[in-house]
Structure 1
Amino acid sequence: MPITDKTDSVAMLIDAVIAREGGYVDHPHDRGGPTRWGITQAVARMHGYKGDMQALPRADAVAIYRRLYWETPQLDAVAVPAPGLAAELFDTAVNMGPETAVGFLQRALNALNRSGRDYADLALDRRIGPATLAALNAFLGTRGEKGEAVLIKAVEALQGERYIALAESRPASEAFVYGWIANRIG
């Protein structure tokens, strides 16, 4: 989902995640335990919620999504030159963690820099800072509009590989692989 208006675009991304994640779930194979609106109990507790997960207010989930998965990893800075990429990274961050999503971006930028001719390799620090933003801008400046689509595909490829690896290393995760691929990639 491309981002065009900063005032409501993040809200639209959050609404889409909440719609996909649904209400209360406590799947026996989900190591995250009880969730509501896609927020795990552990994350809710880290952000001050002490009540029963079945009663987690939607407004609390929205605030957690905005703060933890959009503002803290600085996806708003990515959204300026690459709104579609920022939306993909947000969804990846929700499902795999912000550091993993940013790591995927950094790995993709490193693989696409034509052996350092376009910009230097990034340290894989899993944080969006000046170097990552400079590399992103250099990549987009060189590759143009199609470049953003290629970066999104690269992030999704890394995400898909991780899903398969999770299922291979923990067979109980196979219960989720079909849904992860169907709902999170492409």
Structure 2
Amino acid sequence: MSSFDEAFDALIGNEGGYVNNPADPGGATCWGVTERVARAHGYTGPMQTLPKETAKAIAKTVYWDPLHCDEYDPRVGFQLVDANFNGGQTVRWAQQAAGTVVDGVLGPNTIGAIKAADPHAFCLTFLALRLKYLAGLKTWPIFGRGWSNRIASNMQKGAA
């Protein structure tokens, strides 16, 4: 099993199946893939029946590969893809956690810094930055409990 396969299984544990919460700016979502992203990648069916394998292919192409997640410790790759799926400033958080220049650009210097970082320390710092960001969103009162549980679960994965 590849790092992506394991990360996707863990990601689905965070995302679940179909949801369409009117307070969620992402709208209708299935397996963590929003309707907008699914349509942009050729899916035309109802979101409630988006096949898990279609969501997995989209996740690899849209959220995993652009961040070069195969190049990192699997714990780091998972944190990056989970944050990228959930939304936020993934590259900036990764740069801060890796102790490199924070410019929001994932180039060779950032990739090298992430690879060189201690995975455990990286994950803890990355998750702390992510949680601070989420706590500042206007939707925190609605989704904060779930996001906190997600971060706590991810901390357990990063510590393993």
Q: Once the two structures are superposed, what CA deviation does each residue of 1:109-161 show, in whole Å capped at 9, x if it has no partner?
A: 33xxxxxxxxxx4251331x211133234x54xxxxxx321111110011010
What is the aligned partner in structure 1 of residue 147 from structure 2?
Answer: 180
What is the aligned partner in structure 2 of residue 163 from structure 1?
Answer: 134
SS in 2 for 1:72: helix
Q: Once the two structures are superposed, what CA deviation does each residue of 1:23-61 show, in whole Å capped at 9, x if it has no partner?
A: 211112111111111111111111111221112111110
What is the aligned partner in structure 2 of residue 86 from structure 1?
Answer: 77
Q: Are the aligned partners of 1:29 and 1:173 in contact in 2 as well (CA < 8 Å)?
A: no
Change (3 A) 1:50 1:124: same
Q: Are the aligned partners of 1:91 and 1:184 in contact in 2 as well (CA < 8 Å)?
A: no
Shift of 1:64: 0.6
Distance 1:104 1:61 in 2: 25
> Superposed, which structure 2 residues align to 1:98-113 within 5 Å?
100-110=89-99
Larger relative contact order, structure 1 or 2 (CA cutoff 8 Å, min sep 6): 2
Distance 1:176 1:123 in 2: 28
2:28 to 31, 34, 38: 34
What is the aligned partner in structure 1 of residue 110 from structure 2?
Answer: 132
Distance 1:56 1:83 in 2: 27
Change (3 A) 1:123 1:25: closer
Q: Which amino acid aligns with 2:141?
A: E
Distance 1:38 1:132 in 2: 26
Q: Which amino acid aligns with 1:25?
A: V
Q: Which amino acid aligns with 1:124?
A: D
Task: Give ranges in structure 2 of 5+ residues lacking alignment.
Answer: 156-160
Moved over 3 A (4+): none
Q: Are the aligned partners of 2:3 and 2:70 in contact in 1 as well (CA < 8 Å)?
A: no
Distance 1:95 1:40 in 2: 10
Q: Are the aligned partners of 2:67 and 2:80 in contact in 1 as well (CA < 8 Å)?
A: no
* 1:49 is the counterpart of 2:43: yes
Structure-2-length-normalised TM-score: 0.85
Distance 1:59 1:70 in 2: 15
What is the aligned partner in structure 1 of residue 60 from structure 2?
Answer: 66
Q: Are the aligned partners of 1:107 and 1:124 in contact in 2 as well (CA < 8 Å)?
A: no
Distance 1:123 1:24 in 2: 35
Distance 2:6 2:112 in 1: 27
SS in 1 for 2:26: coil
Shift of 1:102: 1.7
Task: Give ranges in structure 1 of 5+ residues lacking alignment.
Answer: 1-6, 111-120, 141-146
